[in-house]
Structure 1
Amino acid sequence: MLERYVAVDLEMTGLHPKTDRILEIGAVKVEDGKQEIFHRMVNPRMEISRKVTELTGITDEMVKDGCEPERAAAEFREFAEGFPLVGHNLIYDYSFLKQCLVNHGETFEKDGVDTLKLARKFLPEAEKKTLDYLCSYFQISRKENHRALEDAKAEKLLFQYLQEQFEAQEPEAFLPKPLLYRAKKQGPATAKQKKYLKELTDWHKIDLNVDLDSLTRNEASRMTDKILAAYGKLSSRGGA
């Protein structure tokens, strides 16, 4: 039975590790029946969308004094060194951590166990396999939903419940396996990209609330595409 691991959960600005950023990291290290907590609020250096705030309760004010993403990810890597990871849809959280570290010239290779995969395998009768639904299913209480540390604590309990009920049936399913995510270093936005973004936001009177110097090329391209789709090119207002 796996008794040494780190249950981890993240909150992010969006769904894409190459163009979105970490907001919060929460983790629980389990070893010899003892627990150790890791928690970091992360300043993404960009405005948090209303949709994300409505889901998580995390506001710009809450993260303004937070760690830089690369520092938080590096500190978590140190916290979890030598331990496999446990999480719900674990590859999603892992991809953000790895992409963040790779962007800053570092590596992050881990093994892990995904409670979502376990739930799909052993709980076919469960109507849904989301963390929210499974917490209700197993009567796991959380002080807050969609907050990293509370979700990590819930994932630890969920993993333990699944271990107790199903590991004897198929021990192999509960063994950590390599987490596979190919992360390519995202270079910083070019001077040309930043200049064009600045021109677009000035022309359309948009306040991006983002540190342009912190953008990667992919992030700058995505922001530019969104502005062009919503507001049009620089010349589009000339004939209005």
Structure 2
Amino acid sequence: MREYVTLDLETTGLEPAKDRIIEIGAVKVMDGTVTEEYATLVNPQRKIPERITELTGISDEMVQGKPCIGQALTELLDFCKELPLLGHNLMFDYRFVKHNAVNLDMSFEKEGMDTLKLARILLPDLPSKSLQSLRLYYEIPQDDAHRALEDARTTYRLYERLRQEYGEQHRELFNPAPLLYKVKKQGPITPAQKRYLQDLVKYHRIDLNVESDSLTKNEASRLIDTILGTYGKIER
């Protein structure tokens, strides 16, 4: 029995240590057929950059009242269970999930398959290996590009098409491989950092674009340094 979960995320940026997940889409597949789907918007507890809203259509208003990352990851890990993952440029999504999982004391060790890697090997002459370029090449229908669940569905359809076309000749390429990414846990903002940050914000009359309680210790340190470099110290 061939079973896997296709995963796709939308995020506020490209760096797991600095940026936040804002949408999760996952599709469970058994023997080529979708059996279950999971999708949720995620409240990043910070302002979503305008360029990300323009790209994804996801706004600050849309994520208000949605689950924060702890609840969303608990649901995702329960959905995935022990199944291997599928993704397009899978390590991007895996790094974000694992980074958050480690900070929340959750385990997320996976094997996976990557349609981007498959396309680079099997379709070397195509000028672009982006998900949307490959979707157009194979005439795969899609409603909303750059939304997590729709991109996960497209990735699943692309993988099954590639497997149908090349699976017999290149069986080894379609086997899950371990996803290797080590993450060091980042502790939460300390009480002393939180007090100092609140004092800086009040003194300089700054509107923060992030909820301080959601910051890690490293994020808080970088934010404090940025404020000090921009506005200066508190003069007593």
TM-score, normalized by length of structure 2? 0.91
CA change 1:225–1:22 in 2 (3 A) is: same
Q: Please name the residue that 1:87 is paired with.
A: 87
Higher relative contact order (CA 8 A, sep 6+): 1
Q: Is the 8 A contact 2:4 2:30 kept in 1?
A: yes
Q: Please name the residue that 2:117 is paired with.
A: 117
CA change 1:189–1:4 in 2 (3 A) is: same
The one-letter amino acid paired with 1:234 is: K
* 3-state DSSP of counterpart to 1:23: strand
Cα shift at 1:107: 0.8
* 3-state DSSP of counterpart to 2:100: helix
The one-letter amino acid paired with 2:174 is: F
Cα shift at 1:5: 0.9
* 3-state DSSP of counterpart to 1:30: strand
> Is it true that 1:201 corresponds to 2:201 in the alignment?
yes
Q: Please name the residue that 2:23 is paired with.
A: 24
Q: Which runs of 4+ in 1 moved over 6 A?
A: none
Correspondence list, 1:84-233, <5 A:
84-227=84-227, 231-233=230-232
Aligned equivalents of 1:23, 1:66: Cα separation in 2: 10
Q: Please name the residue that 1:71 is paired with.
A: 71
Aligned equivalents of 1:115, 1:203: Cα separation in 2: 51
* 3-state DSSP of counterpart to 1:72: helix
Aligned equivalents of 1:197, 1:156: Cα separation in 2: 44
CA change 1:90–1:193 in 2 (3 A) is: same
Unaligned runs of 5+ in 1: none
Q: For 1:89-117, what per-residue CA distance to the aligned partner results, in whole angstroms no more than 9, with x for missing partners?
A: 11111111111111111211111001111
> Is it true that 1:61 corresponds to 2:61 in the alignment?
yes
The one-letter amino acid paired with 1:84 is: P
Question: What is the CA RMSD across the aligned residues, in angstroms?
Answer: 1.9
TM-score, normalized by length of structure 1? 0.90
Cα shift at 1:30: 0.7
* 3-state DSSP of counterpart to 1:234: coil
Aligned equivalents of 1:226, 1:140: Cα separation in 2: 45
Give the number of aligned pairs: 234
Q: Please name the residue that 2:47 is paired with.
A: 47
The one-letter amino acid paired with 1:94 is: Y
